Amino acid sequence: MMKNKVNIDTIIYLVLIITSLIFIYAGSFLFEEGSFIGNRGNNRTVDADTATDRNKPFPVVHKAVSTEINGIKQKINILEIDLSSGGVKIKPALAFDTIYGFQSLKDIAINNNAYAAVNAGFFYSYGEPSGMVVIDGKVYTKSTGKYPVFVVQGKNAFLSEIKSNIWILHGNRRIAADDINREGKPGETVVYTPVFGPTNRADKLHTSYIVENNRVARKFRGDTECKIPSDGMVITFYEPISSEEKFEVGDWIGIDIDPDFGPGFQAYECGSWLVRDGQVVAVDRDDWVGLLTNRDPRTAIGVKHDGKVVLVTVDGRQPGYSVGLSSRELAGYLLTLGIKDAAMLDGGASTQMIVQNKTVNRLPARERMLGGGIVVVVDEDL
């Protein structure tokens, strides 16, 4: 009997040792340092994304900040993106990847396999972007020349005022086009690509050339719309035509944009400047927003002195939680983040930030359908 008791005691002892080792091993993962980063205080940072690869910092950091600006409570969400590390891309994204239409920001993010996203700038009644959009080197629309354009060129990003030109290439000739993927006006020359939709929507007298695989396939004259080929474009001359450029069936036709920032570049025309060369330049009124002295929800995009890109949303119209900022208050706050240049995106009920398919800011109303967003795509290998 004594021998059996010793054996039982030994077995129990071994079981206790093995169980303790299992808990210690599991605990090293459950409570690993860095699984949550935060600090307390007046400017309380509540959320920061960490690296999945311990040898390479994750290129996107999200912070949710509670603070007071001019004595008023504000809730601010910040995305900081380091393009220099590689493995991450920032680009515009349109609803359904076309000129017309609206989608939720969450659907836009999902469709682009985005890690994060914010609402973009301004759109016309049917979803057409207000200014320049270039996605992965594909020109959707040209710039107006009135507002700063956010450009991503490889691992570098910047904001600059740009006047873009569209050229039709025909033999040795460069023929200026008035616009691309816009409804044409009398006397204009407009290029239409498949992102505009199934047709050029022309409802006034015009002469159009249907181009397939960079070759003129046929010519059309009339006051009805022309179908846009999936592998080509339509070049439309709206009458009165001052000096019609005659193309022949079989002629080679190309399109060029000036300036060209290289293969695969991204470009998006924003709203008014907020910060320029490290100085507050915010205006009190904007053609799209109207009065900017009000405290409202805001969205902005900026580039820091160290080259990192910052996307910011400020919640507003929620007394006791977050009131929102005026344009000048927003610009002043951006300076505290080390911003060199920044511009306004759409705000109000459109202000929204998505991180990993979740809205991280508090919307003042139900989610608004948008014409597009700015998405952050991270390589799956990171």
**DSSP label at 322?**
B
In this model, does residue 52 exceed pLDDT 60? no
Residues 86 and 141 in one domain: yes
Min mean pLDDT across 3-12, 75-84, 114-123, 186-195 is at 3-12
pLDDT at 34: 34
pLDDT at 177: 95
CA-closest candidate to residue 78, choices 362, 370, 374, 361: 361
Residues 295 and 246 in one domain: no
Kindly provide the b/e burial profile for residues 299-316, where b requires at least 16 CB atoms within 10 angstroms of the residue's own CB.
Answer: bbbbbbeeebbbbbbbbb
Task: Read off the pLDDT band of 39 (50, 70, 90).
Answer: very low
User: 331: which residues sit within 8 A by CB, 6+ positions away?
Assistant: 274, 275, 280, 281, 282, 342
HSE-up (13 A, CA, CB side) for residue 239: 10
In this model, does residue 283 exceed pLDDT 70? yes
pLDDT at 194: 97
Domain boundary among 208, 226, 258: 258
Min mean pLDDT across 41-45, 317-321, 369-373 is at 41-45
Residues 249 and 372 in one domain: no
235 falls within a domain = yes
Task: Read off the pLDDT band of 19 (50, 70, 90).
Answer: low
Residues 174 and 110 in one domain: no
Domain boundary among 258, 284, 310: 258
pLDDT at 3: 43
d(CA 59, CA 83): 7
294 falls within a domain = yes
Task: Assign 312 to helix, strand or coil.
Answer: strand
C-alpha dist (Å) from residue 179 to 182, 193, 206, 314: 6, 12, 15, 35
pLDDT at 25: 44
Min mean pLDDT across 102-116, 143-157, 243-257, 287-301 is at 243-257
Mean pLDDT calculated for residue range 215-232: 97
Residues 148 and 172 in one domain: no
107 falls within a domain = yes
241 falls within a domain = yes
Task: Please answer whether residues 334 and 282 qualify as being in contact, where contact means their C-beta atoms are separated by less than 8 angstroms.
Answer: no
- Average pLDDT along the chain: 88
DSSP characters for 174-240? EEEESEESS---TT-EEEE-GGG-SB----S-EEEEEEETTEEEEEEEESS--BPPTTEEEEEEESS
45 falls within a domain = no
356 falls within a domain = yes
Residues 280 and 371 in one domain: yes
Task: Read off the pLDDT band of 87 (50, 70, 90).
Answer: very high
In this model, does residue 36 exceed pLDDT 90? no
Domain membership of residue 172 as a residue range: 165-258
What's the token pair of residue 65? 């900040």
Percent of the chain with pLDDT over 70: 85
Mean pLDDT calculated for residue range 261-272: 94
Domain boundary among 238, 258, 278: 258
Residues 73 and 157 in one domain: yes
Residues 151 and 188 in one domain: no
Looking at the 3D structure of the chain, how many domains does it have?
A: 3
d(CA 208, CA 200): 9
Residues 110 and 248 in one domain: no
Q: Could you tell me the pTM of the whole model?
A: 0.85
What's the token pair of residue 116? 């994060």
Task: Read off the pLDDT band of 11 (50, 70, 90).
Answer: low
Residues 272 and 145 in one domain: yes
42 falls within a domain = no
Phi/psi at 359 (nearest 5 deg)?
A: -75, 120
C-alpha dist (Å) from residue 65 to 6, 40, 43: 61, 10, 6
Mean pLDDT calculated for residue range 212-225: 97
Task: Read off the pLDDT band of 8 (50, 70, 90).
Answer: low
Residues 227 and 251 in one domain: yes
pLDDT at 382: 67
d(CA 180, CA 132): 10
Phi/psi at 136 (nearest 5 deg)?
A: 50, 40
322 falls within a domain = yes
Kindly provide the b/e burial profile for residues 85-105, where b requires at least 16 CB atoms within 10 angstroms of the residue's own CB.
Answer: eebbbbbbbbbbbbbbbbbbb
In this model, does residue 43 exceed pLDDT 80? no
Residues 129 and 206 in one domain: no
Task: Read off the pLDDT band of 289 (50, 70, 90).
Answer: confident
d(CA 135, CA 93): 7
Relative to beta strand 116-119, strand 372-378 is antiparallel
Residue type, 236: T
Task: Please answer whether residues 118 and 299 qualify as being in contact, where contact means their C-beta atoms are separated by less than 8 angstroms.
Answer: yes
